[in-house]
């Protein structure tokens, strides 16, 4: 099961990256999200899986595809300023990101406790637990994200509205 979802995720992610056609690439991204949702379920966190599908696959990518279709940009446009060192910076940053996340995951308490306990079946996380967690332990990041979204919303409105 894990292999199937992992292959789906990685395969469609790669296909997305190498796909010339923007819309097909977007659809591969959807497949990636579905694979990630499957991985979430295997981690016995179905709530995240459902939210992943509802929010990312169901809403954000639909909007993305909508915009792509509306702009009708079927051909790839050349990048505006093709700085030669840009790709090296990107490569370095990517390596730092991947390495950092690997180190973080290996150090995480959950993984260690899992390897100690040899647990095979964990009770699935429910929405109630997740909500409680969000409102107690992670309330600051929750509020910050809310604020950020509000700011971006106001920004979008002020950009679109000519006369406030």
Partner 1 sequence: MILGILSLAPELSWMLIKVLVCIGFLMLLAPPLTWVERRGSAMIQDRIGPNRAALFGKIKILGLAHVLADGLKFFFKEDLIPKDANRALFWIAPALAFIPALLGFAVIPVGRSFELEGTTYHLSLIDPNNGMGLLYPLAIGGLAVYGVLVAAWSSNNKWSILGGMRASAQMVSYELGLGLSVIALFVTVGGYDPHQVILDQVQHGWYLWRQPLGFLVFFVCQFAETNRLPFDFAEGESEIVAGFHTEFGSMKFGLMGLAEYVHIIVASALIVTLYLGGWSIPFSRDGDSWPVLATVASFLAKLLFLCWVFVWVRWTLPRFRYDQLMHIGWKIMFPLSLINLVVNAWWLTR
Is 5 within 8 Å of 49 (Cβ atoms)? no
Buried (b) or exposed (e) across 113-135, using 16+ Cβ within 10 A? Answer: eeeeeeeeeeeebeeeeeeeeee
Smallest separation (angstroms) from partner 1 to the CB of 42: 12
Smallest separation (angstroms) from partner 1 to the CB of 73: 13
SS3 state at 82: coil
45 binds partner 1 (CB under 8 A): yes
Q: Is 118 left (phi over 0), alpha (psi -120 to 50) or beta?
A: left
42 binds partner 1 (CB under 8 A): no
Of 59 and 93, CB closest to partner 1:
59
Of 102 and 157, CB closest to partner 1:
157
Determine the Cα–Cα distance for residues 83 and 90; give it in Å rounded to an integer. Answer: 11
Q: Which of residues 115-154 bind partner 1 (CB under 8 A)?
A: 124-128
Of 69 and 135, CB closest to partner 1:
69
69 binds partner 1 (CB under 8 A): yes
Token pair for 96: 């730092």
Q: Pick one of 11, 15, 19, 58: the residue that binds partner 1 (CB under 8 A).
A: 58
Q: Pick one of 3, 63, 79, 164: the residue that binds partner 1 (CB under 8 A).
A: 63
Q: Pick one of 7, 14, 62, 119: the residue that binds partner 1 (CB under 8 A).
A: 62
Determine the Cα–Cα distance for residues 32 and 38; give it in Å rounded to an integer. Answer: 10
């Amino acid at each position: 099961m894990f292999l199937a979802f992992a292959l789906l995720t990685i395969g469609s992610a790669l296909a997305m990256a190498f796909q010339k056609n923007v819309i097909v690439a977007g659809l591969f991204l959807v497949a990636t999200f579905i694979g990630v949702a499957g991985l979430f379920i295997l981690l016995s966190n179905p709530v995240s899986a459902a939210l992943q599908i509802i929010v990312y696959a169901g809403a954000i990518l639909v909007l993305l595809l909508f915009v792509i279709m509306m702009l009708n940009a079927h051909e790839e446009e050349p990048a505006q300023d093709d700085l030669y060192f840009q790709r090296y910076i990107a490569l370095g940053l990517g390596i730092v990101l991947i390495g950092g996340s690997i180190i973080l995951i290996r150090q995480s308490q959950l993984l260690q406790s899992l390897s100690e306990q040899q647990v095979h079946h964990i009770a699935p996380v429910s929405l109630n637990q997740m909500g409680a967690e969000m409102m107690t332990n992670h309330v600051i990041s929750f509020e910050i994200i809310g604020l950020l979204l509000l700011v971006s919303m106001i920004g979008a409105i002020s950009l679109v509205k000519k006369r406030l």
